[in-house]
Structure 1
Amino acid sequence: MSESPRTRRKGTGALPMVETRTKYAQLMRQGISNAEACRTLNINRRTGMRWRHGRTVTDTRGRATTYAPISLKAPPTISPRYLSEGERIQIADALQVGKSLRQIAAEMGRNPSTVSREVVRNRSPRGKRYAPRAAQVLADAARKRPRPGKIAGNPLLRGAISKHLLEQWSPRQISHQLRIDYPGQPEMNVVHESIYQALYSPHATGLSRGMSRHLRTGRRGRLNHRRTSRRRSRFSGPLLGERPAEVDTRLVPGHWEGDLVCGTFNRSAIATLVERTTGMLLLVHLNGKRDAATVRERVGQAMSALPPHLRKSLTWDQGSEMAEYLQFQTETGIPVYFCDPHSPWQRGSNENTNGLIRQYFPKGTNLSLHSPERLAEVAAKINARPRESRNWESAQAHFDRLRETAHI
């Protein structure tokens, strides 16, 4: 029978479980779940959750002690010129058996003054006893050299970023625009990752946490990516393998991707159409419906209004709203192709644009309340944004040039 990490010893109480907590943190960094890590280390799952998320304990006198959550990042590697935690434990063990500082330094291969300063500097304030783990915490805190971030220390830069965030611009678009607005001023230029970090850690970087709701996702932090399972195809219609090869190059305009953005309980929806070459967005009003007949009729009307050379194909997902694709092809002359099951990346332009649309039409809202005029207004705003993938030209400007072209 294996011994539990919390096996009690006579006169000592429960063990502090420091080593077990360290092993738990290592398993978390490897992506192991809490249940599996607790089962491996033979500890309670509630203990693992407290370690992972931290907790605050209040004693009978009302004094609160906060235990910080474990870090999912591996501890940084420090230079060998600094004492490690293992060396500090070695010092504590040697002091316990009565060895002198010079003897300890000789065994460790360190200078006696290094060991002496370590013991004096990191001695416990109360008991005057050298505690290696407390010494490691104090040394880590002393080694940090925190400084204000670039955004936190520059009110002008912070204001410029906040202004564009309120306009629903992405951090990458903001980063590019700052280089244009402030040429030759490196203090006003930041990479997009700095803006993301300022939003995800506002206490240290200057931006308020509420500004994160202006991001495309509205999230306050990043989510882990997970592999999706495979599903069978819902339709027997043509898949992407039958689509013309010219569509993949994005050099020939007129090939579109489509999808639905749904509202509360999937009872309302807006059809979204994105042209693959220019990124041009069309929002189609469905009058509060999302059935196949309505989608076929409204999407067909929107695409039929385009010039013939700008409506060559339509790629859709496996949604049942495109069940009448054969009749759609007959009425419009536009061939329809379907993505593979559960493969949204095959309509990447459409999926990314749907994320932009969610800034204006959040999840959990009734989309039937928005008029066609409101949809046109939102589409115009998105189409006017600069696009990095198209050399910072807006989708509207690119599409307008192609509209005047009779043949590409």
Structure 2
Amino acid sequence: MCDYGFSPTQQDEIWRRWREGQSFSLMGRTLGAPMHHVRRFLYQSGGVRLAPQRRSERHLTCVEREEISRGIAAGESARQPARRLGRSASTVSREIARNGGRDRYRAASADAAASVRGRRPKQAKLAQQSALRTLVEAKLALSWSPEQIAGWLRHQFPDDTSMQISHEVIYLSLYDPRRRQAIDRSLTQRLRTARPMRRPKITRRPTGRGVIRGMVSISDRPAEVEDRKVPGHGEGDLVMGIRPSAVATLVERTSRYTAVVALPDGIKAEQVAPHLIRSLLGIPPQLRRTLTWDRGREMAEHQAITAKTGMPIYLCKPRSPWQRGTNENTNRLLRQYLAKGADLRTFGQADLDAIAHELNHRPRKTHGYRTPAEVYADLLNSGDAPTA
């Protein structure tokens, strides 16, 4: 791989700054190098640092293999060189057997073979298992996350380890250049971030929004909402595109079932309310309990919405989007379909319904890899849902 003129010390510095979340331009200025050299250096590795190969201290050394070879030449059993080396006899016996036996054992060739066996990574599982690779690529093409795929495979093939794989191995197959031959790398475009290389996680400080008259704080919300045992409590917010375009999202907390609402008229409170009321009235009455919303000005008509739907609306505290974390996570999932730079007014309600349908039929780890649609249907049919 090309180092673009960076010394080992500079490469260590690039990786350190990359983990801290620094930009390419800042790293380039600090190192006195062109920004695009830094970017290409990281891009060629997929954002995954390649660890140098090291031999474990537990493994036999070349000197120890020479001692074993001399012991064989002297007609000794495996126990005698093992005793001198402080190794178990079984370790020495296996070493001799895997390298041709007593008649063919040579220290130099045995040490070289050990280096080859110790190379990492081994051939990726997805490169070896064509059926597994085909299935993983098909699910990635449907915008399933690697974690969803891994969980679904364990659920579908509980007794067949050849058809199971961890989500981290899927990520490495997509990003690590040593494994890229294992899977179609263009499928990174179907991941939630659509990035061609892995990035370190960066904590962003949330920003608050305006004060709303007559609002009811989340601190007054019924305690039953917290544990998700009682269905029918929802969370909502706007997902913004290029301003002033946006859509509204509604998520039922117990099932994570999602509705996406078109807002063709705009994002002012009086423009949002009619579409939100229409969507909420489409929810079965037994699943219309409460709604928790971000503290945005689009909810200034919350009292009118409550009067029409019978759903009390509770607003989060300033700069606390984590208080409606289910909806925040759902909105991040929706970014795979609704880009920040897109004009979301071009999406009709039928388009948004299709997106919600796809999202509701993805397996979720929190449901044991059942889908929100399955859980939502059970809530409607089980009799556990409260009556209106």
1:24 & 1:377 partners in 2: Cα distance?
46
Q: What's the Cα RMSD here?
A: 3.9
Matching residue of 1:402: 379
How is 1:182-331 mapped onto 2 (pairs within 5 angstroms)?
182-201=157-176, 204-205=179-180, 206-229=182-205, 231=207, 234-236=210-212, 237-263=215-241, 265-331=242-308
* SS of corresponding position for 1:315: strand
Q: Aligned partner of 1:225: which letter?
A: K
- By how many angstroms is 1:381 displaced? 2.1
Cα distance in 1 for residues equivalent to 2:232 and 2:303: 20
Residue type at the aligned position of 2:38: H
The answer on whether the counterparts of 2:231 and 2:386 sit within 8 Å (CA) in structure 1 is no
Alignment deviations for residues 23-72 of structure 1 (CA, whole Å, 9 cap, x no partner): 8469648849699x99xxxx97343778992889xxxxxxxxxx999997
Q: Unmatched 5+ residue regions in structure 2? A: 60-114
What is the CA–CA distance in structure 2 between the aligned matches of 1:286 and 1:303, rounded to whole Å? 14
Structure number with greater Rg is 1
What SS class does the counterpart of residue 173 from structure 1 fall into?
helix
Give 1:298 deviation, angstroms: 0.9
- Equivalent of 1:45 in 21, 30, 45: 30
Instruction: Give the unaligned 5+ runs of structure 1.
Output: 1-15, 57-66, 83-139
> Are the equivalent residues in 1 in contact too, given 2:137–2:184 (CA < 8 A)?
no
Answer whether contact 2:236 2:293 (CA < 8 A) is retained. Answer: yes
On the 8 A contact 1:51/1:69 being kept in 2, the answer is no
Distance in 2, matches of 1:363 and 1:346, equals 23
Does the residue aligned with 2:249 lie in a helix, a strand or coil? strand
Amino acid at match of 1:317: D
C-alpha distance in 1, partners of 2:365/2:256?
11
State the one-letter code of the partner of 1:239: S
Is 1:149 aligned to 2:124, yes or no? yes
Alignment partners' CA distance in 1, 2:342 and 2:191 = 18
The answer to whether the Cα contact below 8 Å between 1:168 and 1:216 also exists between their aligned partners in 2 is yes
User: 1:82-121 to 2 correspondence within 5 Å?
Assistant: none
Correspondences of 1:157-168 after superposition (within 5 Å): 157-168=132-143
Contact 1:149 1:204 in 2 (8 A): yes
Pairing 1:334–2:289 present: no
Confirm or deny: 8 A CA contact 2:239 2:249 kept in the other structure. Answer: yes
Partner deviation per Cα, 1:255-311 (whole Å, 9 max, x = no partner): 111111222x22322111000011111121222522211211111121123233311
Q: Which moved more, 1:298-307 or 1:24-33?
A: 24-33
Query: Is the 1:272–1:281 contact (alpha carbons within 8 Å) kept by the matching residues of 2?
Result: yes
* 2:362 maps to which of 370, 380, 385: 385
Aligned to 2:352: 375
Number of equivalences: 320
How far apart, in 2, do the equivalents of 1:365 and 1:146 lie?
40
Q: 1:348 aligns with which of 310, 313, 325?
A: 325
TM-score normalised over the length of structure 1 = 0.66
Q: Is the 1:233–1:340 contact (alpha carbons within 8 Å) kept by the matching residues of 2?
A: no
Identity rate of aligned residues, in percent? 34
Q: 2 CA distance for matches of 1:308 and 1:266?
A: 34
Once the two structures are TM-superposed, the CA of residue 334 in structure 1 deviates from its matched residue by: 1.7
